[in-house]
Amino acid sequence: MALTKKQKKLLYINLTRAMTLDRMMMRIIRAGRMTGFYHEGGVSLAPGVAIGSFLRKDDCLGPHYRAHGIAEMVSKGVDIPSYLAEHMGREDGCCKGRSSYHWSYPDDKMYGAGANLGMPYGLACGYSFAAKYKGTDQVALTAFGDGSFQEGRSYEGLSMASAWKLPAIFWCNNNGIAQHTELSNVYPIEDLSRVAAALGMPTMIVDGQDLFACGEAALKAIDHARKGKGPFFVEAKYLRAQEHNVGGLNTSGDVPRSQELMEKWKEERDPLKLATLQLLDEGILTQKEIEKIQKDAEDEADKIEEAADQSPKALPSIEELLAAVYAPDTVVENA
Amino acid sequence: MSEVRELTFSEAINEAYIEEMQCDENVFLFGECIRAGTFPHTAGLLKKFGEKRVLDSPIAEANMAGFALGAAQEGLRPVVDFMYAGFSYYAATEIFLNTASYYHVHGSQHPVPIVYVGTCGVGRRVGYEHATPVYGTAIHHPGLKVCMPSTPYDAKGLMKAAIRDNNPVFFLWHTTMVAQKGPVPEEEYIVPLGLADVKREGTDVTILTLGLQVHNALAVAETLQDEISVEVVDARSVEPFDLETLLKSVEKTTRLVIVDEDIERAGFAAEISALMMEQGYDLLDAPVKRVCHPNFPSPGGYMDAYTMPTPERIEDAVREVCR
Ligand SMILES: Cc1ncc(C[n+]2csc(CCOP(=O)(O)OP(=O)(O)O)c2C)c(N)n1
Ligand SMILES: [Mg+2]
């Protein structure tokens, strides 16, 4: 599905914003002002932007954990100050500052992050089943990495979605590495989409560093699911050009990954640099417009940081936390 | 007055399903082989409610529980049937960590109403996979509610409460009681979660238990009636637990025996014993005594005779605390 100029511009703006916010998150965690951990997005954010930009607000979205969903969220229009405040343990955090990175935005149909790899498959089945049950044309998209895919739950979720023709999109960000374990060491095939194909699902492979290729794939997958044709699997081959998480190692097994290669990827495969060249070349944006987009993104990040920082540290009492474990009684009426 | 009709556990649960599905479109049944009904509690429901609301799941428990969480987040009220509750351990991450924690960790803003259903209990000589009662593990994870009925009456009432509850609830029922009968009135009623029931009044010793063991405790109370007056408290709900009713009972009897089919170590009985130390110590005239599954795995076979809390073991414990 070819992208319109407007769509390309939207993707470009959102990627600029996502990468700027990722740098903001990095600044804040490095300054010791964030609770928990952060997994840098770096040059890995094109798939998340594509997904977030083209889903409808009422489509369920479970982002890949890398960059803690920032690319998907900023593109889908989620309130980022409360996301940052949550990471910083502040009262105005989306989960009252209790949870570090366990954000959640039910109104945006992004029900939240958890740390367990392998969770998204069942959830995507549940979301897309609910859409079918209610007879709406909503779709559900879940994104995950090659590490997550190694969990047996991927097979369970994919097979159910395919058997029941659920409007689910499985988006795999495959960088061939999970923390420090290379896929080739532990998995028999390189293209994970072959598993989905074997389970009867249409699949496609895209360059995850190519923002517009990701955008086209997202549109195609969403269109397929929305038309009731069942699930769709996209495999984006993408890159992690830095350590797994902030303060962690960047090794393959116990061998450091080549620093030269990382720098080369950042130089040559940065999706924003590639998209900038393309849009200038196609005459869709001018240098001046690009600078303005960059400036706006910086301003946005500053405002977000300022807003989050104004919120006081969340210090609930133990009594308050104890009283908050269970939801109040149901209001379902008697027949 | 007309006689109250008798229903089996299965029939009672079946009725709860029908009533709750009729009053809320969002309630649906999803589980392992429920259309045919490995246990008859789902019999006839496919015909009544159609394929949309009565679904056989793939045999993939982790996915079943993840699916249920997603569906609940999207506003549905899934009733997830694991056939045997022990099979749900494949979904331990989904149930005990992610679903149990979801509401609280995410700011206590978005309830996830789910009912997990499964049978359990020793006595059929089938071993740990089918016997493990799950509730001891479940209550270690705040956010889950857990109940287990001892009569068809309680089964229907608790199931209705579980379906209406806005939290994930584990509804456990005893494999040996599936066809057991008991009175169930025609009129609608609910048994709220968190309310224990004094199944027999007595003055010398309290037995706290649940499920099948309520009947063993009642049998012991009957046997001993001329010697020792036994009060039998049926917990019914393990979480929330009705400590008030237990304390009131022990205030009167001053002695407590806890009967629990789960492994003794770090289980429900251990938890209640600790609560008694902290909140009921002054009421006691003797140390609390537990009758549980001994601390070895459930092999099944004839070993069930060693692992089950039998009337004999319960009677010994009662005599010991009354010495
Ligand atoms: C169930 C579970 N097992 C292990 C981990 C530890 N862990 C966190 S992230 C990660 C690597 C994930 O790799 P992948 O899914 O490929 O994503 P990538 O970082 O490459 O984008 C691992 C092993 C976890 N969080 N959850
Ligand atoms: Mg990876």
- Which ranges of B74-200 does DSSP label H, i.e. alpha helix? 92, 100-105, 128-131, 135-138, 152-164
State mean pLDDT over A257-262: 97
CA angle A95–A101–A104, rounded 5-degree value: 45
A182 in B contact zone (CB under 8 Å): no
The larger pLDDT score, comparing residue A113 to residue A171, is at: A171
Other residues' Cβ atoms within 10 Å of the Cβ of residue A256: 11
Residue A333 has pLDDT above 80, yes or no: no
Q: Given this model, what pLDDT does residue A324 score?
A: 96
Specify the residue with its C-alpha closest to ligand 1, atom 22.
A179
* Mutational pocket test of ligand 1: of A179, A184, A242, A244, the residue with most ligand atoms within 8 Å of the beta carbon: A179
Does the distance separating the beta carbons of B74 and A126 come in below 8 Å? yes
Q: Given this model, what pLDDT does residue A335 score?
A: 34
Position in ligand 1 atom list of the atom nearest CA A238:
21
- The set of catalytic residues of B is 130
* Spatial separation of the C-alpha atoms in residues A169 and A172, rounded to whole Å: 10
Q: Given this model, what pLDDT does residue A330 score?
A: 56
Q: Given this model, what pLDDT does residue B164 score?
A: 97
Chain B stretch 47-66, residues whose beta carbon is closer than 8 A to a beta carbon of chain A: 52, 58, 60, 62-66
Which residues of chain B are within 8 Å of residue A160 when distances are taken between CB atoms?
Answer: 58, 60, 63, 67
Which residues of chain B are within 8 Å of residue A111 when distances are taken between CB atoms?
Answer: 70, 73, 110
* Spatial separation of the C-alpha atoms in residues A114 and A145, rounded to whole Å: 14
* Spatial separation of the C-alpha atoms in residues A226 and A167, rounded to whole Å: 6
DSSP class of residue B121? -
Other residues' Cβ atoms within 10 Å of the Cβ of residue A180: 16
Which residues of chain A are within 8 Å of residue B78 when distances are taken between CB atoms?
Answer: 126
State mean pLDDT over B65-70: 98
Q: Given this model, what pLDDT does residue A1 score?
A: 73
* Spatial separation of the C-alpha atoms in residues A322 and B145, rounded to whole Å: 15
Per residue in B218-236, pLDDT tens?
Answer: 999 999 999 999 999 999 9
| Helix axes of A287-310 and A271-281: crossing angle, nearest 10 degrees | 140
Chain centroid to CA A134: 26
Q: Given this model, what pLDDT does residue B157 score?
A: 98
Does the distance separating the beta carbons of B52 and A160 come in below 8 Å? no
Residue A317 has pLDDT above 60, yes or no: yes
Closest Cα to residue A123, out of A134, A112, A133, A115? A112
Q: Given this model, what pLDDT does residue B3 score?
A: 80
Q: Is A138 helix (H, G, I), strand (E, B) or coil?
A: coil
Q: Given this model, what pLDDT does residue B122 score?
A: 85
Q: Which residue of B has its CA nearest to A132?
A: B52
Position in ligand 1 atom list of the atom nearest CA A183:
16
Per residue in A115-162, pLDDT tens?
Answer: 999 999 999 999 999 999 999 999 999 999 999 999 999 999 999 999
Residues 6+ apart with CB under 8 A from B276: B250, B256, B284, B288
- Facing B67 at nearest CB: one of A129, A134, A328: A129
Whether ipTM > 0.90 holds is yes
Per residue in A36-79, pLDDT tens?
Answer: 999 999 999 999 999 999 999 999 999 999 999 999 999 999 99
d(CA B292, ligand 1 centre) in Å: 40
Q: Return the half-sphere exposure (C-beta side, CA atoms, 13 A cut-off) of residue A191.
A: 12
Chain centroid to CA B182: 17
Determine contact, residues B112/B168, Cβ cutoff 8 Å. Answer: yes
Cα B134 to Cα A141, B138, B261: the distances in Å are 33, 6, 10
Q: Which domains does chain B have, with CATH numbers?
A: 5-184 (3.40.50.970), 197-321 (3.40.50.920)
Beta bridge pairs of residue B234: B197, B209
Cα B141 to Cα B70, B101, B112, B126, B167: the distances in Å are 19, 8, 15, 27, 13
Per residue in A16-44, pLDDT tens?
Answer: 999 999 999 999 999 999 999 999 999 99
Q: Given this model, what pLDDT does residue B9 score?
A: 98
Confidence of residue A87 (pLDDT cuts 50, 70, 90): very high
CB pairs A-B closer than 8 Å: 147
Chain A stretch 60-99, residues whose beta carbon is closer than 8 A to a beta carbon of chain B: 60, 93-96, 98-99
Beta bridge pairs of residue A256: A251
A99 token code pair: 């949870």
Closest Cα to residue B73, out of B101, B112, B109? B112
Which residues of chain B are within 8 Å of residue A326 when distances are taken between CB atoms?
Answer: 103, 143, 145, 166-167, 240
Residue B32 has pLDDT above 50, yes or no: yes
Residue B151 has pLDDT above 70, yes or no: yes
Q: Given this model, what pLDDT does residue B37 score?
A: 81
Mean pLDDT of chain B: 96
Residue B166 has pLDDT above 90, yes or no: yes
Lowest mean pLDDT among A111-120, B45-54, B164-173, B289-298: A111-120
Q: Which residue of A has its CA nearest to B90?
A: A153
